[in-house]
Amino acid sequence: MVRPLSLLRWLTGFWILVLAASALSHAATDTPPAPSPADQAFYRVADRYLDQTQRLFPTQSSINGYHKYDGLLEDFSTSNVSKMITIFKGFRKELAVVDRAKLSVSAQVDRSLLIQDCEANLFLLTSLRPFLKDPLFYNDILGSSTLFITQTPPDSKEFPARMESLVARMKKIPAFLEQAKKNLANPAQVQTKFCIVLNPGNLEFFQTTLPPLAQKVPALTKAATDESAKVIAALQSYQKWLENDLLPRSNGDWRLGKELWTKKLQLTLGSDLTPEEILQRAQDKLQKDRAEMLVVALPLHNKLFPDHKHEETGEDLINVVVKETLGELSKQHSKPDALFSDVKDKWTPKIKEYIRRSGIIDLPPEDDNFVIEPTPAFMDGAAVAFFNPPPAFEPELKKSFWVSSIPKGGSPEKDVEVAESYLKEYNDYGLQSLIIHEAFPGHYVQSWYALKSSLASIYKKVYASGTFAEGWAVLAEEEMFTSGFADGDPANYLVHKKFDLRVPMNAILDSKLHTSGMSEAEGDAWAMDLMTRYGFQEEAEAKGKLRRAKITSTQLSTYFVGFTELWDILLDTKDLEKDKFTLKSFNDRVLSFGTIPPRDVRRLMFAAPAAPANQTAPATQESSGK
């Protein structure tokens, strides 16, 4: 999972607002051609859009490496929300009158990205309004607001300025928490309970992470220490308020309902597929993949259980044979204290070696700033793993593959039970699929291509499409295993297919839970049955996914829709190129456009070849704001 950004976790998972230094990066030519008058006019609007909205969402600005507004913090007071709505409505009108037909193809894509972002902002501010009903909204902003200022290396010349901004931002945190208390009225219980679990992660930053950082800038050490003490007190008070005040009155409904969910899905995906098409194709894929799993599992099952003869047929036969086989394979897993080191030192080198040998894609250089590290505490448990890309304007900063800690059960006995369930799910084979998805050649490799691409404009880099990112990561898994990664190891391939079942199931869960009208108890029972019986998931994994489906509506659909659209592009490319087709050339081209919606990838992939015209737009202010 690519790290979902704080505000638009409720929309695309990738809402990033940033001031563009130039609207388009030009192709790699000695003399880039001049932009057309139509493109220049559009990018003047686009630059103003970015500039004027930047200070409204300063945490997003920090995430993207534009540090001019690092000392500020989001304001969701009634008056400021009204101001934001007015600003976005004004830009909606300006963007609507831009004549799309007169723009270059690349500028057309950028215009589409801006329109989608503008509509997403208005939808969040006027319809979803999470700042009134979801405490996780504030938790994500707060955690990101500190983390992404301090990503700059402490020994860099920029770090003192970052610390100065952090102190300024810290001064605003107590009021930010008071605003949350004032705004939050009737959250869903699942949201408040999870926020109670995650909020101590914000405390941990100020209690543990900040003190040694503050020592790096002696001139600011006292100010940072003084403000930190105030923030710690405010967070401790906020934690008590969450537990004693908000939780007892958290009786809201996390379900969006069909109308809101459908609108949010459209804004999240950037796809032309309808909800009905998505659901039908997901159900078809789930059935097809389960049937393939039986074919793979039967020989393994006969070796592992020679005395087990089953009379079941159809779906029941799949359930029992595949479950028994996976149950035995899942016993091969890490020890609790070795999980992280196994990911880093055992399985990642094996996967990278295969990619180099197979030649399906070029990997980033070994000296690229890639790290495998624990998930930050304020997000730990929201998903099993994340990839955290570097800022679009600071691509030299580290690229983090975050691995979450093993969940707890609430008691020593339950801790052991939950850990065993977790480790069986992420067994030796499952960890390999996880690494492929998150890093090699999944999210990390894709992000590296996007940031270095000369064809991707700055807009294509900062308005990243979660649908493409997750779709690529799933496609990367498929390419690895179909190209021979598990040759001679059917057990590895079977577990991959089990992980593959999550893709259509995610979309089915997302749709059904939010739109079917089931009661919460009915939905919980149905979802757990789908995941454990039909998806062969361990109970701990299924419970975590159920919670995630409730608190991140529409994000789970990005995996299936992104993969489906990219897979269709791959098949069409094969048909077009025939014997000339190679997987490497396809991957190079697909990744060259940046992280944009797959439907726009299709437009650019199959556009008529032309000179790289209109690839440069007028420069505005310098991006770093340093």
Average pLDDT, the chain: 91
* AA letter at 110: D
With respect to residue 397, please indicate whether it lies within any of the assigned structural domains.
yes
Q: Does 281 lie in the same domain as 246?
A: no
Mean pLDDT in residue range 538-547: 95
Residue 509 lies in a domain: yes
Query: What is the β-pairing status of strands 370-374 and 399-403?
Result: parallel
Report if residue 269 sits inside a domain.
no
Count of CB atoms within 10 A of residue 18's CB?
26
Q: Is the pLDDT of residue 17 over 70?
A: no
Collapsed DSSP state (helix, strand, coil) of residue 588: helix
Question: At residue 618, does pLDDT exceed 50?
Answer: no
Helix (H, G, I), strand (E, B) or coil at 370: strand
Q: CA angle at residue 213 from 209 to 217, to 5 degrees?
A: 160
What is the per-residue pLDDT across 577-617, written as a single tens digit (0 to 9) for each?
999 999 999 999 999 999 999 999 999 999 754 333 333 33
**What is the 3-state secondary structure of 119-171?**
HHHHHHHHHHCHHHCCHHHHHHHHHHHHHCCCCCCCCCCCHHHHHHHHHHHHC
pLDDT at residue 7, as a whole number: 45
Q: State whether 213 and 73 are in the same domain.
A: yes
What pLDDT is recorded for position 3?
A: 57
Does residue 581 belong to any structural domain of this protein? no
Residue 301 shares a structural domain with residue 193: no
What percentage of the chain exceeds 90 in pLDDT?
85
* pLDDT tops 80 at residue 383: yes
Burial letters for 571-595: b for 16+ Cβ neighbours within 10 Å, e otherwise? Answer: eebeeeeeeeeebeebbeebbbbbb
Q: How far apart are CA 41 and CA 617, in angstroms?
A: 9
> Same structural domain for residues 219 and 281?
no
Residue 378: inside a domain: yes
**Domain match, 242 and 339 both:** no
From residue 421, how far is each of 63, 193, 407, 536 by CA, in Å?
34, 22, 10, 12
Domain encompassing residue 408: 275-566
Mean pLDDT for 177-203 is: 97
Q: What confidence score (pLDDT) does residue 54 get?
A: 77
Q: What is the pLDDT of residue 460?
A: 87
Q: Say which residues have a Cβ less than 8 Å from residue 409's Cβ, sequence separation at least 6.
A: 415, 416, 417, 418, 419
In a domain, residue 56? The reply is yes
Examine the domain organization and report whether 461 and 401 are in the same domain: yes
Domain-ending residue, one of 206, 236, 251: 251
Query: Per-residue pLDDT tens for 315-331?
Result: 999 999 999 999 999 99
Answer yes or no: are the C-beta atoms of 301 and 590 closer than 8 Å. Answer: no
* C-alpha to C-alpha distance for 209 and 431, rounded to whole angstroms: 29
Element containing residue 44 per DSSP (H, E): helix 37-54
The answer, yes or no, to whether residue 620 has pLDDT greater than 90, is no
Of 64-73, 89-98, 552-561, 565-574, the least confident: 64-73
Q: Are residues 226 and 299 in the same domain?
A: no
Query: Do 228 and 370 reside in the same domain of the chain?
Result: no
pLDDT category at 53 given cuts 50, 70, 90 is confident
Which are the contacts of 562, defined by CB distance < 8 A and separation ≥ 6?
465, 466, 467, 468, 469, 470, 471, 472, 474, 475, 598
Indicate the Cα dihedral angle 510, 190, 437, 536, nearest 10°: -70
Spatial separation of the C-alpha atoms in residues 462 and 411, rounded to whole Å: 43
Residues 6+ apart with CB under 8 A from 33: 26, 611, 612, 613, 614, 615, 616
**Secondary structure of 495-547 in the HEC alphabet?**
HHHHHHHHHHHHHHHHHHHHHCCCCHHHHHHHHHHHHHHHCCCCHHHHHHHHH
The pLDDT score that the predictor gives to residue 34 is 78
Average confidence (pLDDT) over 493-519: 97
Q: How are beta strands 399-403 and 385-388 bridged, if at all?
A: antiparallel
Q: What is the pLDDT of residues 430-485, one digit of tens each?
A: 999 999 999 999 999 999 999 999 888 878 887 889 999 999 999 999 999 999 99
Residues 359-363: contacts with CB under 8 Å, at least 24 apart: 359/584, 360/441, 360/479, 360/480, 360/483, 360/583, 360/584, 360/587, 361/441, 361/445, 361/583, 361/584, 361/587, 361/588, 362/584, 362/588, 363/440, 363/441, 363/445
Last residue of a domain, one of 251, 286, 304: 251
Asked if residue 619 belongs to a domain, the reply is no
- Transcribe 290-349 into DSSP letters: HHHHHHHHHHHHHHH-TT------HHHHHHHHHHHHHHHHTT----GGGHHHIIIIIIHH
In the numeric block, which tokens belong to residue 600?
Answer: 């726009």
Q: Are residues 192 and 226 in the same domain?
A: yes
Those residues whose C-beta lies under 8 Å from the C-beta of residue 282, and which sit 6 or more positions away, are 504, 505, 507, 508, 560
Look at residue 615 in the predicted model and tell me its pLDDT.
35
Could you tell me the CA-to-CA distances from 617 to 47, 135, 141, 334 in Å, in that order? 10, 40, 32, 52
pLDDT at 24: 29
The pLDDT assigned to 623 comes to 28
Reported as a pLDDT band with limits 50, 70 and 90, residue 27 is very low
Contact 193, 248 (CB under 8 A): no
Are residue 29 and residue 65 in the same domain, yes or no?
yes
| Single residue among 566, 593, 614 that ends a domain in this structure | 566
pLDDT, tens digit (0-9, with 9 covering 90-100), for 275-294: 999 999 999 999 999 999 99
CA Rg value for the chain: 24
Distance (Å, whole) CA 474 – CA 66:
31
Residue 91 contacts by C-beta under 8 Å, 6 or more apart in sequence? 45, 49, 52, 53, 118
**Do 279 and 240 belong together in one domain?**
no
pLDDT at 622: 27
Confidence label for 350 from pLDDT (cuts 50, 70 and 90): very high
Domain count, the chain: 2
Distance CA 411, CA 399 (A): 35
Q: Classify residue 262: in a domain, yes or no.
A: no
For residues 511 and 562, what is the distance between their CA atoms, to the nearest angstrom?
16
Cα–Cα distance for residue pair 500/504, rounded to 1 Å: 8
| Residue 185 shares a structural domain with residue 281 | no
Region 295-303 average pLDDT: 97
